[in-house]
Amino acid sequence: MAKIRIKDIAEQAGVSVGTVDRVLHNRGEVAEETKTKILEIAKANNYQPNLIARALTSKKRCVFASLLPSPTEEDVFWQSPLDGINNATLELEQFQLKVENFFFEHYDKSDFIKKTEKILELQPEGVIFPPIYKNESKEFATKLEKLGIPFVFLESKIETCNYLAYVGSDGYHGGRVAANLIDFGVADNDDILVLNLAKDLENIHHLKQRTQGFLDYFMDYGKNQGSKITMEIPSTNSMEIQEKLDSILSSNNNIKAIFVTGSKVYKIAQYLIKNQIKNISLIGFDPIDQNIKYLNQGAINFLIGQHPYQQGFKSVKTLFEHVLLNHDIVKDEILPADIITKESYQLNKA
């Protein structure tokens, strides 16, 4: 079946292309009868608009909004998703797509709320954001839903929200991968410390899932038989960390590996170096600058990445495919864990 054009539909329906266009874009001002007829013909022939032609002619740009924590000197974590978003935007620019990036100060809820309001003012045709603050994100999501604006979660998701898609990692999977690595590196009777290190408890859910995956791996088929000691340090203050670690390591001198369930693993690396502890393997998440530093020094053995660039890139693509192309999309796009060592990182940077 050859491709059908607006013109063909118009001919078959005995109307002009203008009328067909009005129906296809729901611009109203069309008799119910002709509308039905046109829609039928379009459907019967599986009409697909020619995007090239549309892009060439259309004046109005489709605008999406993204809302991310601003990448700062100290915390470059959000730079990669941003790069991904920008590059996807670049690719889709020819299709008249534009993405406006909004930023909020990390750890500042009121700023987050302020920026969501700005976005609502803009009335974009789609929104991309990581639901870092649960309640505030929920409210934002509700407002978007009311306005009929689809939104994509990245990095984490809130199940109860009516999100269009989620692009991110699976915490449980990440935990299992970490376990797999540590299991390879420690002796069968070594003990392992699992550390939930987080200032706020916002992302505690994610950390818990990683812990679960980690522990489950050993239940399933880890060869290591040592104790798995789980500990929480609700602070990133170096002094507090020092105290807690001093205490646990002195009472368990067989701990030979530490699994940090989040990206603050560099804090532990600092501790190990300061105290000249060299026989403990260390593994954590995210190749942010602080972590890379200790990866290169050998204090961190592995980092598990979550393809942050891809998260940004695919968020835009997904939204585009839904809004502009009306394609069916994958609701949960789970990206695999990326295992990073000192050596592999050398080329992984790019």
* Beta carbons within 10 angstroms of residue 133's beta carbon: 18
Q: Taking Cα atoms as reference points, which of 315, 328, 324, 316 lies closest to residue 62?
A: 324
129 in Cβ contact with 139 (< 8 Å): no
Which of a copy of itself, DNA, none sits in contact with 227, Cβ below 5 to 8 A by type? none
CB of 53 vs a copy of itself, minimal distance in Å: 6
CA 114 and chain centroid, separation: 22
Among 36, 40, 44, 50, binds DNA (CB under 7 A): 50
Residue 17 host element (H or E): helix 17-24
Residue from 42, 179, 198, 233 touching a copy of itself (CB under 8 A): that is 179
Residue 147, classed as helix, strand or coil, is helix
Any idea what the Cα angle at residue 126 is, between residues 86 and 159, rounded to 5°?
105
CB 314 within 8 A of CB 84: yes
One character per residue 193-212, x = contact with a copy of itself (rule: CB under 8 A):
--------------------
**How far apart (Å, rounded) are the C-alpha atoms in residues 164 and 162?**
7
Residue 336 binding target from a copy of itself, DNA, none, CB below 5 to 8 Å by type: a copy of itself
Among 40, 44, 53, 187, binds DNA (CB under 7 A): 53
Interaction mask 298-337, a copy of itself, x per CB under 8 A: x--xx-------------------------------xxxx
Q: Which is nearer to DNA, 96 or 209 (CB)?
A: 96
223 binds DNA (CB under 7 A): no
Cα gap 184→236, rounded to integer Å:
29
Establish if 98 lies at the interface with DNA (CB under 7 A). Answer: no
* Residue 61 binds which of DNA, a copy of itself, none (CB < 5-8 A, kind-dependent): none
CB of 73 to DNA, least distance (A): 41
The amino acid that residue 46 corresponds to is N
Residues 6+ apart with CB under 8 A from 57: none
Is position 18 an interface residue for DNA (rule: CB under 7 A)? yes
User: What is the binding site for a copy of itself (CB under 8 A)?
Assistant: 50-53, 55-56, 94, 170, 173, 176-177, 179-181, 184-185, 217, 221, 281, 298, 301-302, 334-344, 346-348, 350
